[in-house]
Structure 1
Amino acid sequence: MEKLPCEDIVWESLPAIRAAIAAEMVATGLSQKEVATILEMAPSAVSQYLSGKRGYRIEFTDEVKKAIASLSNDLRDGKVTNPASRICAICTLIRGTPSCGACDEGET
């Protein structure tokens, strides 16, 4: 069976986005524990993102990097409490399409 586009999103794009957000937040002075609390993940996950054990398989464009930095700053400053829509927008920038297309094709 062919790999579904949504599998790439779950296994590649989302971990890369989360890793970049965590790295950006730590770079601005937050501790790994603070980042874990804000992102609602285990501190060990933040550590793995920062060490490159998870989430570093995608090279981001400048536009994506700016969107990640903006979201990271807003999360740090408490301006965003539910980042889902902004993460989806970043994922859309990475993929270059608003839909992965798999669901639009129907059964064949």
Structure 2
Amino acid sequence: MKPPCEIVVWYVIPAIRSELAKELLNLGMKQKDVSELMDITQPAVSQYITDKRGSGIKLDDNVRDMIKNFARQLSVGEATKADLISTTCKICNHVKLSDVLDQLNIDKSELGEDCQSCLGSEVN
């Protein structure tokens, strides 16, 4: 059993990045500009938008709306590259751990009490 923090690194953050890259491209940005903004390589952007990376889980509509709003803010200059980490963390905290564990077919009963703080949501 992977601890929830590892699940965040392997599944949640890549899913958020994938959605953000797709939204920025939909708003007219070029892959090179998206890569510079997100501080990732252009091939990583390509992998995110083709679902070769970051497609292991489906984010709920509320989280996707948060990502769309952030992408819009980035595209019009209301947010900057400096906001990327803090906003990604805020978005990540809205992802429900139980939904992610269900999608990955992980038994929640294997998690100890200390694991309940990850993702800002309840385990049970």
Q: Is the Cα contact below 8 Å between 1:16 and 1:58 reproduced in 2? A: yes
Q: Identity over the aligned pairs, expressed in percent?
A: 37
Report the AA paired with residue 94 of structure 2: L
Where in structure 1 do 4 or more consecutive aligned residues deviate above 4 Å?
A: none
- Any conservation in 2 of the 1:38–1:76 contact (CA below 8 Å)? no
Is 12-21 or 78-87 further displaced after alignment? 78-87
1:57 equivalent in alignment to 2:56: yes
1:89 corresponding residue in structure 2: 90
Which 5+ residue runs of structure 1 have no aligned equivalent?
102-108
Counterparts of 1:1-108 in structure 2, within 5 Å, are 2-81=1-80, 82-95=83-96, 99-100=117-118
The alignment yields a C-alpha RMSD, in angstroms, of 1.9
Give the TM-score normalised by structure 2: 0.73
Q: Hey, what does 1:104 align to over in structure 2?
A: none
Q: Which amino acid aligns with 2:85?
A: A
Distance 1:49 1:42 in 2: 11
By relative contact order (CA 8 Å, sep 6+), the higher-ranking structure is 1
CA distance in 2, matches of 1:40, 1:77: 18
TM-score by length of 1: 0.83
Aligned residue pairs, count: 100
- Report the secondary structure of 1:69's partner residue: helix
**Matches of 2:23 and 2:60, distance apart in 1:** 15
Q: How many Å apart are 1:64 and its aligned residue?
A: 0.7
